[in-house]
Structure formats: structure tokens, C-alpha cells
Structure 1
Amino acid sequence: MEKLRVGVIGCGSIAQHRHLPEYQVNPNVELVAVCDINEERALEVAEKYGVLSFTSYKALLESSEVDAVSVCTPNYLHAPISIAALEAGIHVLCEKPMATSKQEAEAMIAAAKASGKKLMIAHNQRFVPSHQKARQFIQSGEIGKIYSFRTAFGHGGPEGWSVEGKEGWFFQKEKAFVGAMGDLGVHKTDLLRYVLGEEIVEVGSFVETSAKNFADVDDNAVCVLKTESGIIGTLAASWAYVSKEDNSTIIYGEKAILRLEDDPTSSLIVQYTNGEVVKYELGKIQSNAEGGQNNSHVIEKFVDSILTGQEPPVPGEEGMKSLAVILAALESNEMKQIVRLK
């Protein structure tokens, strides 16, 4: 079988910790090129992986060297680069948040449809074993009616992780468009939609910049969310959790409480109303702290969807729905009112 020829556009931390190493170990992939506007970085990464180096994504897309690309650039470039790649007949795996507006997201989806190529958004939380098991519990009715939830994603901030530190695009509004809410919050809106199996229909939020005085984007956000069946809960996204990362979700049901990624050893704990507690050790969630050696499954799912011709597990439409919640949260904070999603 022919191997899938892949290029990675943007050689920052997410490319270096996730995309490149996961493509490299995938038996169906031949990594052929990397691209970064920082020529030194592009050359350094290209040398490490023994691939071609580009500083212009257009040159890479026109080179006819690649069948698929990962878009690992600052957020504001996600849509233009993804659209250009799709129009060039190249499959796209795009980092989250997929775009900076609904219009951009729609244009990406339209480009994928027109080209017949795959567009997948890198929402890895769906592939965490505890999250998948929780979804099964909820769908099977095992924990009854869901009443409420709370979810958080917070750490000390991307300056400790990003290749550019405090100078990085994460903190610049014109490049990032949104801060902790786009970096972390959108992962959790995607997770909630996936685990609960419902759309979020109303959002209220407070979005602040309180910890990073050098940033012009949010670093602390708390949202109240309501789903279509009336489940209410909170989502916190923060770059101000200075010690341990929090990536936990708790779901309060009629027959049990599900604690996801809330305990250091048991990735899922089910606490039943009768006092029974069942603990599952399903393997750790991916975290930046672990050096990124563990598999996010995003790359393999993307590659499989291309090779089998199936719909990717997180297509553009799903990415857009998860982005819509974040956009509504920003609007709610600005307008100081609850925002209804269409």
C-alpha cells in the first residue's frame, strides 16, 4: 500500500510534541515536509525528521509533495491555510480552535465538501478512555437522568510550554483571537457535547485577564452552560492554575456521579447512590507535563479516515459547534447577558 505523504505546517510545541512524533511512528505515513515562517526553526525540525523544509505554506501546498497536512499555526491562520490546502486537493488536520469566527469555520467546511478531501479538527479529549466510557454510561442509561456537571481545564499558562514563551502568539489578540478559552475552553465544550450527547443551547460567562499582565487575551474564564434537555453546569478555562494542571469533569446523574480525570490513579470513578464506588484505571489523559510521549489518537484517527475513506471522528461541523460555544461565551461576557445559540 502507498504510504500517505504528510506535511506539518507550523513547527511550534504542538507540532513538536504531538503531530510530528505521532506521524513518525505511524506505519501508514511518510513524513515528507515541515513549514514554518521562522526559517531556523523549520530547518532544525526538518533536519531532526529528515524531511523537506519550507518557509511558505503556499510553496509547500504547490509542491505536490504532500497528500495531507497538519495545520499547527497560530489560530488566525487556521482557516486561510486549511482552505488553501483543501482547494489544492490536500487533506487537513487542523488544530483547535478551528477558526476565529463562524464564517471562517463555514468556509473551511465548504472547502472540504467542494474538494472531497477530509477536514478533521484535533479535539483529542474525545479519545481519552475515561471520557469514552462516561459517554457509554450516559448513553446506556446506567446513571439515569443527568442533572448537572462541572468541567475545568487549567494550567500555569502556555508560556511554560510554547516555543516562544511569553513572546508567543498565544498572548497576542490579533494572532490568537482568544486566550485560555480558545486554548483550553474549546476542548471542554467539545468534550461536554461528546460525553453528554447533546448540544449546548445557552451560555453565560465571565472572561477576564487577571494573571498574565503581558497578555491582551483572556487567561481566566468561567461559563455557565445549559444543554437542550436542560442540563446545567459550569466550565472553567484558566492559565492561572499555578501548581497542578486540572483537566477534570464531574457529571451529576440521578443514579450516580461520574468523576473523570479527577483522581491521580483512577481516571474514572463512579459513585452510586447506594454508596457503592467503582474505580476504573483506564490510562492517563494526555498532558503537556508528561513530555507528550503518550498517543493522543488524533493522528491515527485522521490517517485512518483518509485510508478508509470514512468521515473523520471530529469533522469540521463538530469543530464549528464546539467553537460556537466559545464565541457565545465571548459575546455573553461583552454584552453582560445570557446568549442563546442558534
Structure 2
Amino acid sequence: MGFIIFRCSLVSDLDKVGFAVVGLGVIGQVHASNISSLEGCRLVAVVDQLRARAEEAGKRFGAIPYCSIDEALRNPEVEAVVIATPSYLHAPQALYALQNGRHVLVEKPMATTLKGAQLITRTAERMGLRLGVVFQERFLEAAKRLKEAISNGMLGRVYLIEAELKWWRGEGEYYRSDPVACSWRGYWETEGGGVLMNQAIHTIDLMLWFGGDAEEVSGMTANALHPSIEVEDVATAVIKFKNGSLGTISATVNTQPTTRQYRKIRLYGEKGQAEIHDLSLSMWMDGGEVYVDGSMIGFGELHKRLVAEFASCIKSGSEFLVGGAEGVRSLELIKAIYLSSRRGEFITLPPTEDVYAL
């Protein structure tokens, strides 16, 4: 005698947020997989300009495949859109989705220009829609514990924040890995920047989350080892925060050997110090030590936590942790570093019109 097994969810389809994922590269596939497995979400549509890729993802995740965002937004079951296309498409596609009444979760950078970032932020506010930016490391336990420690005064007044990102991105395997990558990666017009804009932006977001708004910055950037691209592959900056603390950033995608890649954020306060090394946290204070192990966190897990929270905020109407204003803040600082590097001078924040031209 056979048995029929019924799988049921505690959340009906009517209570789930219907998503479309636009852009099915590596990170778009991660978002599609996460959304299809989250109890409070439903993957309605997947979108990619490459028809075969869209159809394959549709079969894999049980979603309707489309080749344009316009087609997907004609589907009334799509309530929210995840934008995971090349960087230069983020702002126009986010704007289009917002203008069509959809909530938007956009990959970093939220735009390649400050004007674009501010435009979609204002549009979301005007239309009463949720706009989120994919800074998934805000949902890292190590980062949340450090933020709590700062807020609770466990480290005392923080006077110095140091950040290092030493990664590797090769020309052949990254910037020129396929025809799509060749069409946009490594160009100012389409990527908006290099290691600061694409890789270190997560670290910069955490620096600002921990340290508050920046007041002044001086930076230098260069392209040392990637002759086929226009943007920077190495950058340094010194920051003065509005609360009086200082900060430094050192970032590169030239690290060799590649087995020595790492990311560190170190905070020094009057009562102790802390370090996030990759995904783990160590804190040292007079009262003892704290360690949070993040080494077992798999790729895509933090994205999953972020999407789950975004969907919850849509349902509850509450504010999302990483809204449009947070995305604008990191972009402002990066653009100010670029302007400082070009002019050879300190740049005051908030930026002048000169930064908007970058």
C-alpha cells in the first residue's frame, strides 16, 4: 500500500511576499534560491536578458521566466523585485520597479552615481514603498554584537577605526571571465568604480554603521596590476568622523598569494578594542574577552537573512535596517574618496556638486 505525502507550509501563498529576481548571474541565482526556500516569500518570476539562462532558472526554482523587467512587472503577483543586474542598471531598473508600485531590494552599489541613488531613495519615500540595499554583512552576528557593544558603551568612546580588505580579482577569471563581464566590469561608466565600489563597499558600510557619519576624507587610488580595466584596484583613505574619531581604509584586489586574502575591521576605544576578521569577532576589555565564530557561515546565508527581514518589513510596514539612505551614505564616502584622489585634497561631507559628477 502506497502513501501520499503532502507537504504544507504554515504560511499560505496569500501571506507570502511575491518576488521577482532580475539578473541571474552568480548573486542573482543565490537570491532566487534563498527566496524559493524562505517561508515568508514566494519566487514568482526570474528575469535575465539571456533567454536560456532565464528558462533554466525558471525550471530550477519553479518560477516564471522572463527576458525583461517590463514583462515581469506585468505579472500582478510580483510585489517586490530584487535587482541583481550589472551595476549601471541598478538605478534605472529600481526606479522603473518603484514607479510601477513594487518594493525594491537592490544589490550594491545601489547606483553608480549619487544622483541615481538619491533619486530612487526619494521615489520610494514618495510612493510609500520599501527600498532596501543588499549590505548583507549587517546581518552577520559578529557585526551585530560589535554594534551592540559600541551602543552599550562596552568599549567606551571609540577613537579609531581601521579597515583592511586584501582580496584577489584576476582579469581572466573575473573582469574578463565571459562576454557579459567584458561588457561592464572595470569601466567607470558601467561599474562606477573598482575595489572601493564593488568589493570594499560592504566594509565601508560597516565602518559607517559603527562610527557614524563621516565629516572629512582624504584618499588615493591607483590601478597597479590590471591593465585591461579603467577603475582602481588599490585604494587608501583617511577619514574624520563627525563624532571626532578617525578612520583608515586600505583595500586592494591584487593580493598574492591568493591564500592570504582577508578582511579586517579594528576598533579602538577608551575601554577596549575589537576586531572583525572576515566573519568572526574578537573583543578585548578589562572585564574579559568575547569571541563570536563566523567561520561556518556559508556563502549566501547572510543574503538569506537579509531577504527574510526585507519581506517581514514589507508585511509589517516597519523600516528596513538597510534602507535607501544607508546605501547613499556609503556611496557618498566612496565618491568623495575618488574626488580627493583626483584633486589631491581633503573633501568635506556631505559632498558638493563636484562629487555628483563622478
> TM-score, normalised on structure 2?
0.86
State yes or no: 1:260 paired with 2:268.
no
Distance in 1 between the 2:24 and 2:153 partners? 44
Distance in 2 between the 1:119 and 1:100 partners? 16
Residue type of the alignment partner of 1:332: S
In the alignment, which residue of structure 2 is the partner of 1:55? Answer: 67
Following superposition, the deviation at residue 177 of structure 1 comes to 1.5
Distance in 2 between the 1:239 and 1:105 partners? 25
Structure 1 stretches of 5 or more lacking a match? none
Q: Aligned in 2, Cα 1:163/1:118: closer, same or farther, shift over 3 Å?
A: farther
Q: Aligned in 2, Cα 1:163/1:210: closer, same or farther, shift over 3 Å?
A: closer
In the alignment, which residue of structure 2 is the partner of 1:37? Answer: 49
State yes or no: 1:312 paired with 2:320.
yes
Question: In the alignment, which of 230, 242, 258 is matched to residue 216 of structure 1?
Answer: 230
Distance in 2 between the 1:59 and 1:296 partners? 26
State yes or no: 1:284 paired with 2:298.
no
In the alignment, which residue of structure 2 is the partner of 1:231? Answer: 245
Question: In the alignment, which of 191, 198, 201 is matched to residue 186 of structure 1?
Answer: 201
Q: Aligned in 2, Cα 1:161/1:302: closer, same or farther, shift over 3 Å?
A: farther
Deviation by residue 1:55-81 (Cα, 9 ceiling, x = unmatched): 111222233341111000111111110
Deviation by residue 1:232-267 (Cα, 9 ceiling, x = unmatched): 1211232112423322110011121101126x8xx2
In the alignment, which residue of structure 2 is the partner of 1:175? Answer: 190
Question: In the alignment, which of 127, 146, 155 is matched to residue 115 of structure 1?
Answer: 127
Residue type of the alignment partner of 1:11: L
> TM-score, normalised on structure 1?
0.90
In the alignment, which residue of structure 2 is the partner of 1:16? Answer: 29
Distance in 2 between the 1:125 and 1:212 partners? 28
Asked if the contact 2:169–2:253 (Cα under 8 Å) also holds between the matched residues in 1, the reply is yes
Q: Aligned in 2, Cα 1:155/1:166: closer, same or farther, shift over 3 Å?
A: farther
**Rg comparison, structure with higher value:** 2
Structure 2 stretches of 5 or more lacking a match? 1-11, 351-358
Residue type of the alignment partner of 1:182: M
Residue type of the alignment partner of 1:76: Y
State yes or no: 1:102 paired with 2:118.
no
The residue correspondences of 1:297-336 to structure 2 (distance < 5 A) are 297-336=305-344
State yes or no: 1:250 paired with 2:258.
no
Asked if the contact 1:109–1:119 (Cα under 8 Å) also holds between the matched residues in 2, the reply is yes
Asked if the contact 1:79–1:105 (Cα under 8 Å) also holds between the matched residues in 2, the reply is yes
Quote the sequence identity (%).
28
Distance in 1 between the 2:161 and 2:323 partners? 25
State yes or no: 1:79 paired with 2:94.
no
Distance in 1 between the 2:48 and 2:196 partners? 25
Asked if the contact 1:12–1:163 (Cα under 8 Å) also holds between the matched residues in 2, the reply is no
In the alignment, which residue of structure 2 is the partner of 1:204? Answer: 218
Distance in 2 between the 1:233 and 1:285 partners? 29
Asked if the contact 1:62–1:88 (Cα under 8 Å) also holds between the matched residues in 2, the reply is no
Q: Aligned in 2, Cα 1:302/1:293: closer, same or farther, shift over 3 Å?
A: closer
Aligned length: 332
State yes or no: 1:150 paired with 2:186.
no
State yes or no: 1:68 paired with 2:80.
yes
Distance in 1 between the 2:302 and 2:204 partners? 23
